[in-house]
Amino acid sequence: MRRLAFLIAPLLFAAAPARAAEWVVDPALSHLQFSGLQTGVAFQGSFGIWKAEISFDPAHPEAGRARVTIDLASAATGDLQRDGALPDADWFDTAAFPRAEFVVDHFVAKGGGEYEAPGRLTIRGIARDVVLPFTLGITGDRAAAKGHLTLVRTDFGVGQGVWSTGDWVALEVGVDVDLVATRVGG
């Protein structure tokens, strides 16, 4: 019986799911930005308030997960008129939908420090599956990740009424993620 237990034990440990390390994002060094075109002129903005909960192990990316919560009222582009309109019902409607959320239940290694984060993005109560491609470098317990995703804003109800066409504001919006994080477990 003891011999049987000795033979089975390695199989049980091999079947146990991998546990990813927890990472804490450094808000002073990390940025969540967006970009687009308004009347043919490029603009950029950023979200000043957001948080990310990340579990990730580069040896087992499939065991990772992440949840990013964004305070939509913190969007700023440096243009007073645009910044004043973004929280309104035609755009983010922050009175009804104060936050956006991106939830990832696994990561995919693509090789050469490149990964994908397939997840569910919810803006204005509309959830869509998206994939965020990103590069990742890890040195010791410090990680730096950069990613870019292009969204069609009207897929999430952003831009109502006269703003629902691309006549004044382009439908495509770029989202840029630049994270620096420290491993705290794993």
Contact at 8 Å (CB) between 135 and 146?
yes
Q: What is the DSSP letter of 165?
A: S
Model confidence at 18, in pLDDT bands (50, 70, 90)?
A: low
Element containing residue 4 per DSSP (H, E): helix 2-15
pLDDT at site 9: 37
Contact at 8 Å (CB) between 56 and 66?
yes
Q: Any idea which residue has 């990472």 for tokens? A: 23
Model confidence at 20, in pLDDT bands (50, 70, 90)?
A: confident
What's the mean pLDDT in 66-94?
98
Given a cut of 80, is residue 6 above it in pLDDT?
A: no
Percent with pLDDT over 90 in the chain: 88
Given a cut of 60, is residue 142 above it in pLDDT?
A: yes
Token code pair at residue 8: 């089975």
Q: How many CB atoms lie within 10 A of CB 144?
A: 16
> pLDDT digit string (tens) for 21-72?
999 999 999 999 999 999 999 999 999 999 999 999 999 999 999 999 999 9
Token code pair at residue 132: 């965020």
Contact at 8 Å (CB) between 45 and 72?
no
Q: Phi first, then psi: what are they for 84, rounded to 5°?
A: -70, -30
Domain ranges of the chain: 18-183
Nearest to 177, CA basis, from 66, 61, 98:
66
Token code pair at residue 20: 């990813």
pLDDT at site 186: 56
Question: Would you list the DSSP string of 24-52?
Answer: EE-TTT-EEEEEEEETTEEEEEEESSEEE
What's the mean pLDDT in 80-95?
97
Look over the chain and give the mean of its residue pLDDT values, rounded to a whole number: 91
Q: Any idea which residue has 């439908």 for tokens? A: 171
Q: Which fold has domain 18-183?
A: Lipocalin (2.40.128)
Given a cut of 90, is residue 3 above it in pLDDT?
A: no
